[in-house]
């Protein structure tokens, strides 16, 4: 699980890269930013990752994916409070299955819109997402699945804030890494990544010090910003020395480019992860909110992918730690 706290960081992360669980060591180079300062990437990403149009189908009560049920059980929540949707983005022939807790502070429409901003070739490396309420803002990646937790307020201000695009981009960074999207598989444990790290004097921020997996995910946010925002990192305030870790984010930029421009908007999906299996749960809940243009489904959902989509081999990777508080 990934939790990035603004005031304090918990290290000690378990990363499952195959059938072996290994504890990655904390990195010894300082961060250029504080973890709480990573919000500086939010506006640029939002302005340059355009929305993707979509339409919705809501699953009938009593059905949920195994991924979402696992996340609900881990969070000690109740499956009957989960609404499940097929989110049909215009750039893919198959929908993404997305689960939303009825009490999540992040509205369902915003949850769907935010994920649709992720470039489709990177988005295709995520199988399912779930939005859940919690007392702290955080998330985790597990074998193609992303769970996001939200309090709905900015830390220490009481200001209403919904889930951040830069946080989703961080989790998608894990998805790209652990699903072997790059030539180095996975990139975060490759010699090329270690070499890039060794050539730099810093890492992006204090959270990137956690281990190489989190360093890679934070550099994915930096690389996405530098690739897509006109003028790149030089447009950010503060006169910071971005060259202090440029070998790391430049390697992400190179490998995503070699893989077809994973962090660049545009195009259509050509491959997807196989969906999580459908399971039945007891329910007394009626159908949820009737969003405009949404179809209400009946019976057991069909989660087969559209014909012609290439199946991405199942990823094996998990992150557990801390996530940036809004």
Q: What angle do CA 157, 159, 165 make, to 5 degrees?
A: 110
* Interatomic CA distance for residues 161 and 150, integer angstroms: 9
Per the CB < 8 A criterion, the answer to whether 325 and 5 are in contact is yes
Residue with tokens 């007394």: 284
- For the chain, state the CA radius of gyration: 19
Interhelix angle for 246-258 vs 212-228, to 10°? 70
Contacts of residue 210, defined as CB under 8 A and 6 or more positions apart, other chains included, come to 9, 11, 13, 24, 26, 27, 321, 322
- Give Cα 188 distance to the centre of its chain: 16
On average, the pLDDT of the chain sits at 87
Query: Pick the residue with more confidence: 323 or 36?
Result: 36
* Interatomic CA distance for residues 202 and 188, integer angstroms: 16
pLDDT reported for residue 170? 96
Q: Residue 17: pLDDT band by 50, 70, 90 thresholds?
A: very low
The residues pairing with 130 across neighbouring beta strands, listed in sequence order, are: 99, 147
Strands of the sheet with 295-296, listed across from one edge: 138-142, 145-150, 128-133, 96-101, 82-89, 54-58, 295-296
Q: Residue 248: pLDDT band by 50, 70, 90 thresholds?
A: very high
Arithmetic mean of pLDDT, 83-95: 98
Contacts of residue 225, defined as CB under 8 A and 6 or more positions apart, other chains included, come to 41, 44, 45, 232, 233
The whole model's pTM is what?
0.89
Per the CB < 8 A criterion, the answer to whether 24 and 211 are in contact is yes
Query: Residue 23 above 50 pLDDT?
Result: no
* Interatomic CA distance for residues 184 and 219, integer angstroms: 16
pLDDT digits (tens, 9 = 90+) for 121-176: 999 999 999 999 987 778 899 999 999 998 766 544 454 567 789 999 999 999 99
Per the CB < 8 A criterion, the answer to whether 153 and 160 are in contact is yes
Q: Mean pLDDT lowest for which of 9-13, 78-82, 96-100?
A: 9-13
At residue 278, what are phi and psi to the nearest 5 degrees?
-90, 135
What size, in residues, is the chain?
326
* Interatomic CA distance for residues 181 and 187, integer angstroms: 9
pLDDT digits (tens, 9 = 90+) for 180-198: 999 999 999 999 999 999 9
* Interatomic CA distance for residues 326 and 321, integer angstroms: 16
Per the CB < 8 A criterion, the answer to whether 278 and 97 are in contact is no
């Amino acid at each position: 699980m990934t939790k990035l706290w603004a005031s304090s960081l918990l290290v000690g992360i378990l990363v499952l890269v195959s059938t072996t669980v290994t504890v990655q060591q904390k990195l010894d180079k300082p961060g250029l930013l504080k973890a709480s300062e990573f919000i500086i990437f939010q506006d640029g990403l939002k302005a340059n990752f355009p929305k993707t149009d979509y339409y919705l189908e809501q699953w009938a009560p009593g059905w949920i994916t195994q991924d979402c049920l696992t996340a609900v059980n881990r969070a000690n929540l109740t499956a009957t409070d989960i609404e499940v949707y097929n989110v049909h983005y215009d750039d893919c022939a198959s929908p993404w299955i997305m689960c939303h807790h009825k009490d999540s502070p992040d509205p369902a429409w915003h949850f769907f819109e935010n994920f649709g901003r992720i470039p489709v070739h990177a988005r295709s490396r995520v199988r399912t997402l779930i939005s859940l309420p919690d007392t702290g803002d955080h998330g985790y990646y597990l074998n193609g699945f992303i769970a996001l937790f939200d309090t709905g307020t900015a830390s220490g201000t009481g200001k209403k804030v919904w889930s951040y695009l830069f946080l989703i981009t961080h989790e998608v960074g894990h998805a790209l890494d652990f699903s072997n999207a790059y030539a180095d598989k996975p990139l975060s444990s490759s010699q090329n990544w270690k070499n890039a790290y060794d050539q730099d004097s810093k890492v992006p921020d204090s959270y990137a010090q956690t281990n190489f997996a989190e360093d890679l995910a934070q550099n994915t946010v930096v690389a996405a910003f530098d690739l897509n925002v006109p003028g790149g990192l030089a447009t950010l305030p503060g006169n910071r020395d971005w060259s202090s870790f440029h070998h790391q984010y430049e390697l992400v930029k190179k490998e995503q480019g070699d893989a077809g421009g994973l962090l660049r908007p545009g195009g259509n999906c050509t491959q997807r992860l196989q969906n999580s299996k459908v399971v039945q749960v007891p329910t007394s809940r009626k159908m949820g909110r009737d969003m405009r243009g949404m179809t209400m489904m009946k019976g057991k959902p069909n989660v087969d992918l559209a014909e012609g989509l290439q199946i991405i081999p199942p990823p094996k990777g998990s992150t557990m730690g801390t996530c940036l508080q809004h």
